[in-house]
Structure 1
Amino acid sequence: MSASSPAVVTLKPRRALPFFSQHPWVFAGAVRSVSGMPQVGEAVIVRSHEGQFIAHGLFHPTSNIQVRLYSWKEDQPLDDAFWIARVASAVGFRQKLFHGQPAERACRLIFSEADGLSGLIVDRVNDWLVVQWTSSALAQRQALILGELQKLLQPRGIWLRTERGIKELENLEVEDGLLTGENPPRSLEIVENGLKFLVDLKAGQKTGFYFDQRDNRALMKTYATSSSRVLDLYTYTGSFALAAARLGDCRNVTAVDSSQPAIDMGIANAELNGLADRIHFECGDCGEYLESQIAAGERYDIIVLDPPKLARTRSGLERAAKAYVRLNRLAMEALNPDGILITCSCSGHLNREDFEQIIARAALDSGRRVQILEQRGQAVDHPVSVHCVETSYLKCFVCRVA
């Protein structure tokens, strides 16, 4: 890091408004000039083309997000005290939110832009933390941030996971593995909504578990009954399926996922909770499974549709929309009259209004009359920043299909 005055990034005319409004991402196309030759991770000052101060940020010369902004106060530089305070604020919020509850030991501790730490995700899983960097610039502060996490939480270990493609996008030279402390066991046990789940930090998807759906899984207590026939698609390790079996007292639940290791963990979770006799697990393509069920005349009372991110870039939105329409149409066709469809999208590039239109198109294509009963989002440990709409990524619509 340079000890001299920070370099200055000057924006092009008519490009400063989003950043005055505290959006944290300055894309390369908005930059007119850069003074000096700042390196990856160096603190810079961002100014308008007229020279007005906008914010302090971290620079990355080759990333599409050339500057990530963190402080909009000119007298608040990005020193060690700044990062320590941000980490402490995020962790303290979760401790206050979940104090004494099981979620305190199974939650998202730091949610990137929403917590003013663009480029960093931290989850707590029992006595371990799992860290994911999406910014090479912020990752330069890893030792400082890990030290603060260690001080605040005393975890037994901190494990690093990397998101697919991010190393290439950010030129991030990291590998999955232990950062500090003890290696986590292959499966850690957490509690959610009164259910026990095994979590694999090392080989599980993303950071091991999807805490963002915690509150939506609890919906099974509202919509399911003991006689409901439930189909949980893209089940991963069985979280919605187990919620249906326990919270809804359902005796006939089918859970499908294309990953055999995920299915194996789901079976273990069902056995752990004494629900193995209520849930049938299938490994296979979820779209093809729906088609086969419709062809066989099988129908369900509740279908959960929670696919992985189908639109990873804006250029992929059109293709993703077609896939969402197909999946939702098939799910509607496979529901009994007055059935419940819980349909989700975690694609941040797809906004809530467009997802609602996808549901409407699927309803027309299926010939079913559909009512939206609830529009929901991510759990409270995944807060939404009003300055960065991209943090409102999870859409969960509860629909009645007549």
Structure 2
Amino acid sequence: MSDTDPAATDFLPPAATPSTTLRLRPGRHFPFLARHPWVHAHAMAEDGRDLACGQVVDLIDHDGNWVARGIINPNSRLRVRLYVFTSDVSIDETLWRERIDAAIARRRLNSTMDRQAAERLIFSESDLISGLIVDRYADCLGVQFTAGALLPWREAILRHLHEVLEPRQIVVKVDERTAKFEGMEPEEGTVWSATAAGEIPQADVGNPTEFTGTVHYQQNGLQLAVDLLGGQKTGGYLDQRNNHAVAAGYCHGRRVLDVCCYTGGFGLVAAKAGAAGVVGVDSSQIALDAAASAAAENGIENIEFIRKDCFDALKQMGEQGDRFDVVVLDPPRFAGSRKQVDSAIRAYRRLNGLAVDLLPPGGILVTCSCSGRVSRADFMNMLLDVGRRRGRDIILLENRGPSSDHPVAASCPESDYLKCLICQVM
């Protein structure tokens, strides 16, 4: 954030972030002793509304015992994000550099970097940097800030990413929903240049004015493209890529329906792996155009796309007597908060019920949920209820999660968000 940005005055510069102490309500300290990183406003006896966004704070229990150290955002209901649980560790640029380096090293524990592929390098709470997501697409980075409290360190974080990874371009985003809840300005897609921070010559980072946002990369044997400037989140979705490949193994020679296919996802990999035919359904024409372009780029002809609401499409197909050997459901998040869990489960139940109606005995259902608030047990119980209501036996073949570059923090169960169940419906 530049000195001329009027919003910059809302955030305290890192050089001026002395820690202050905030007290919790009685009995509210236990999750943080277990290193959970989120402190909501209702847990605090002192809400810190008079502090600057980005101020370092020490959290104490109601009796005055030190608990953890974090950063406050008085504009957010998620008031404090905790990063340090040892009192002798400071929150400063050194901490962010160490956490970034550790996250990148974590991805190299079981694989070397494929410079033509894509991967998630930093996954917020799971990499102990709550509020930061970094995806690498070939030689470019997509960065998403989901915490207003991190913005004072924005330039330091981006500068270190550039130093250690040497990407051709870095694109930064803050989505509208996050901006609303965090009290910050949305950022649709900014091409970051280290020159803006006065660090290195422009030639070393490429020319942002010539960058269109499109980056080509390889995944599951396909040549793909992502729009870092205009695509969702950091540009695409990487968490399902291993599931795409595994699910494709059930699709050879079979007729496949890929519901909420976005830019091709499951359907393209299934078609490439020898499905008899694939129908992709999504409500976004932009996503479907990208999917069709990817199919053409890879010489895939056994796939077609339909623009339609997922519920309407499944209902219409059922009424027409359509049948598929494999149905894939990969809907967007239905529950963004605890209050929406019940309605989300009802939506999942309806969607899966309509899908089961399209499957003959022995058909394969690949059903997914990216709603972190809906637990794996809740999702399984939903599927059990679908089988009971439809009078069908549902046999779970594989109970899967995201690819390994989306780790789960034991202290933050919300990071175990993605469920991918591969089932046989009898």
Confirm whether residue 255 of structure 1 aligns to residue 280 of structure 2: yes
CA distance, structure 2, for counterparts of residue 57 and residue 319 of structure 1? 33
CA distance, structure 1, for counterparts of residue 241 and residue 235 of structure 2? 14
How far residue 288 of structure 1 moved from its aligned partner, in angstroms, is 1.2
Give the SS at the match of 1:324. helix
Confirm whether residue 210 of structure 1 aligns to residue 237 of structure 2: yes
1:78-134 superposed Cα distances (whole Å, 9 cap, x missing partner): 0221111011111222245431436x7411111000000001111111221111111
Give the SS at the match of 1:132. strand
Confirm whether residue 141 of structure 1 aligns to residue 153 of structure 2: yes
CA distance, structure 2, for counterparts of residue 119 and residue 207 of structure 1? 13
1:235-277 superposed Cα distances (whole Å, 9 cap, x missing partner): 0111211111122x113111111100111110111111111x2
CA distance, structure 2, for counterparts of residue 164 and residue 218 of structure 1? 32
Q: Is the 8 A contact 1:251 1:279 kept in 2?
A: no
1:151-175 superposed Cα distances (whole Å, 9 cap, x missing partner): 0111111112223311111111242
Confirm whether residue 241 of structure 1 aligns to residue 267 of structure 2: yes
Confirm whether residue 300 of structure 1 aligns to residue 312 of structure 2: no
Corresponding residue for 2:8? none
Q: How does 1:359-370 map to 2 (within 5 A)?
A: 359-370=383-394
CA distance, structure 1, for counterparts of residue 185 and residue 277 of structure 2? 47
Q: Which amino acid aligns with 1:69?
A: L
After superposing the two structures, state which structure 1 stretch, 278-287 or 15-24, moved more. Answer: 278-287
Give the SS at the match of 1:151. helix
After superposing the two structures, state which structure 1 stretch, 161-170 or 1-10, moved more. Answer: 1-10
Q: Which amino acid aligns with 2:164?
A: L
Q: 1:234–1:12: structure 2 CA closer, same or farther, 3 Å change rule?
A: same
Q: Is the 8 A contact 1:70 1:117 kept in 2?
A: yes
Corresponding residue for 1:8? 21
How far residue 5 of structure 1 moved from its aligned partner, in angstroms, is 4.5
- Following TM superposition, the consecutive aligned residue runs of length 4 or more in structure 1 with deviations greater than 4 angstroms are 1-5, 34-37
CA distance, structure 1, for counterparts of residue 373 and residue 296 of structure 2? 37
Give the SS at the match of 2:82. strand
Give the SS at the match of 1:263. helix
CA distance, structure 1, for counterparts of residue 117 and residue 266 of structure 2? 20
1:314-368 superposed Cα distances (whole Å, 9 cap, x missing partner): 2122222111111000000001210010000001111111111111111222221
Q: How does 1:106-255 map to 2 (within 5 A)?
A: 106-176=118-188, 177-180=190-193, 181=205, 182-183=207-208, 184-226=211-253, 228-247=254-273, 249-255=274-280
Q: Is the 8 A contact 2:176 2:186 kept in 1?
A: no
Q: Which amino acid aligns with 1:265?
A: A
Give the SS at the match of 1:63. coil
Q: Which amino acid aligns with 2:61?
A: S
How far residue 186 of structure 1 moved from its aligned partner, in angstroms, is 4.1
How far residue 213 of structure 1 moved from its aligned partner, in angstroms, is 0.2
How far residue 63 of structure 1 moved from its aligned partner, in angstroms, is 1.1
- The alignment's TM-score, normalised by the length of structure 2, stands at 0.90
Q: 1:136–1:36: structure 2 CA closer, same or farther, 3 Å change rule?
A: closer
Give the SS at the match of 1:141. helix
Give the SS at the match of 1:223. coil
Corresponding residue for 1:59? 72
Q: Which amino acid aligns with 1:53?
A: W
Confirm whether residue 399 of structure 1 aligns to residue 403 of structure 2: no
Q: Which amino acid aligns with 1:343?
A: T
Corresponding residue for 1:266? 291
Q: 1:4–1:234: structure 2 CA closer, same or farther, 3 Å change rule?
A: closer
Give the SS at the match of 2:191. strand
Alignment RMSD: 1.7
Q: Is the 8 A contact 1:330 1:366 kept in 2?
A: no
- The alignment's TM-score, normalised by the length of structure 1, stands at 0.95
Gaps of 5+ in 2: 1-12, 194-204
Q: Which amino acid aligns with 2:299?
A: G
Q: How does 1:294-373 map to 2 (within 5 A)?
A: 294-373=318-397
Paired residue total = 398
Give the SS at the match of 1:58. strand
Percent identical among aligned pairs is 39
CA distance, structure 1, for counterparts of residue 312 and residue 152 of structure 2? 45
CA distance, structure 2, for counterparts of residue 348 and residue 34 of structure 1? 26
How far residue 35 of structure 1 moved from its aligned partner, in angstroms, is 7.7
Give the SS at the match of 1:140. helix
Q: 1:208–1:40: structure 2 CA closer, same or farther, 3 Å change rule?
A: same
Q: Is the 8 A contact 1:7 1:34 kept in 2?
A: no
Give the SS at the match of 1:33. coil
Q: 1:209–1:4: structure 2 CA closer, same or farther, 3 Å change rule?
A: closer
How far residue 74 of structure 1 moved from its aligned partner, in angstroms, is 0.7
Q: Which amino acid aligns with 2:265?
A: S
Give the SS at the match of 1:337. coil
